[in-house]
Amino acid sequence: MDYNATTPVRPEVVEAMLPFYREHFGNPSSVHWAGRMVSGAVEKAREQVAKLINAAPAEIVFTSCGSEGDNLALKGTVEALKDKGNHIITTAVEHPAVLNTCEFLEKIGCEVTYLPVDAGGMIDLAQLEAAITEKTILISVMWGNNETGTIFPIEEIGAIARKYKVRFHTDAVQAVGKLPVDVQKAGVDLLVISGHKIGAPKGVGAMYVRRGARMVPLIHGGHQERNRRAGTHNVAGIVGLGLACELAGQGLEESAARIKALRDKLERGILENIPDVKLNGHPTQRLPNTLNVSFAYIEGESLLLNFDMKGVAASSGSACTSGSLEPSHVMGAMGVDVALAHSSTRFSLGPDSSEEDVDYILEILPPIVARLREMSPLYPGNK
CATH 3.20.20.70 fits 252-378, yes or no: no
* 8, 142, 284, 344 from 73: Cα distances, Å: 27, 12, 29, 31
pLDDT for residue 323: 53
Which SS3 state, helix, strand or coil, does residue 280 take?
Answer: strand
The sign of the dihedral angle between the CA atoms of 237, 245, 315, 74 is positive
**CATH 3.40.640.10: which residues of the chain?**
11-249
Backbone angles phi, psi at 18, to 5 degrees: -55, -45
Helix, strand, coil shares, percent, the chain, to 5: 45, 15, 40
DSSP annotation of 151? B
User: Torsion angle, CA of 289/338/95/161, rounded to 10 degrees?
Assistant: 90
The whole-chain average pLDDT of the chain stands at: 95
**CATH 3.90.1150.10: which residues of the chain?**
252-378
CB 189 within 8 A of CB 138: no
Q: Is 232 annotated as a binding residue?
A: yes
Backbone angles phi, psi at 329, to 5 degrees: -65, -25
User: Torsion angle, CA of 163/94/204/308, rounded to 10 degrees?
Assistant: -150
Backbone angles phi, psi at 86, to 5 degrees: -145, 20
The H or E element containing residue 138 is strand 136-140
Question: Is the pLDDT at 319 greater than 60, yes or no?
Answer: no
Report the candidate in 302, 272, 52 with the shortest Cα–Cα distance to residue 177.
Answer: 52
Amino acid 175 reads: A
pLDDT for residue 308: 96
Band the pLDDT of 318: cuts 50, 70, 90: very low
Q: Is 194 annotated as a binding residue?
A: yes
Q: Is 67 annotated as a binding residue?
A: yes
DSSP annotation of 243? H
**CB contact set of 353 (below 8 Å; sequence gap of 6+):** 1, 3, 259, 262, 289
Q: What percent of the chain has pLDDT over 70?
A: 97
Q: Is 196 annotated as a binding residue?
A: yes
Task: Point out the catalytic residue in the list 65, 102, 245, 320.
Answer: 320
Cα separation of the two ends of the chain: 34
Report the candidate in 368, 330, 346 with the shortest Cα–Cα distance to residue 114.
Answer: 330
Rounded Cα–Cα distance for residues 260 and 132 (Å): 36
- Which tens digit of pLDDT belongs to each residue from 340-382? 999 999 999 999 999 999 999 999 999 999 999 999 877 787 7
Q: Is 150 annotated as a binding residue?
A: no
CB 227 within 8 A of CB 36: no
CATH 3.40.640.10 fits 11-249, yes or no: yes
Known active-site residue 320 = yes
- Which tens digit of pLDDT belongs to each residue from 80-127? 999 999 999 999 999 999 999 999 999 999 999 999 999 999 999 999
Question: Is the pLDDT at 192 greater than 90, yes or no?
Answer: yes
Average pLDDT estimate for 194-223: 97
Which region among 41-55, 136-150, 291-305, 312-326 has the lowest average model confidence (pLDDT)? Answer: 312-326
**Buried-state track 286-302, b at ≥16 Cβ within 10 A, e below 16:** bbbbbbbbbbbbbbbeb
pLDDT for residue 378: 77
Rounded Cα–Cα distance for residues 125 and 113 (Å): 14
Rounded Cα–Cα distance for residues 352 and 145 (Å): 21
Rounded Cα–Cα distance for residues 28 and 200 (Å): 20
- Angle in degrees, CA 170, 173, 178, rounded to 5: 110
- Which tens digit of pLDDT belongs to each residue from 172-184? 999 999 999 999 9
pLDDT for residue 327: 82
The H or E element containing residue 305 is helix 300-309
CB 222 within 8 A of CB 231: yes
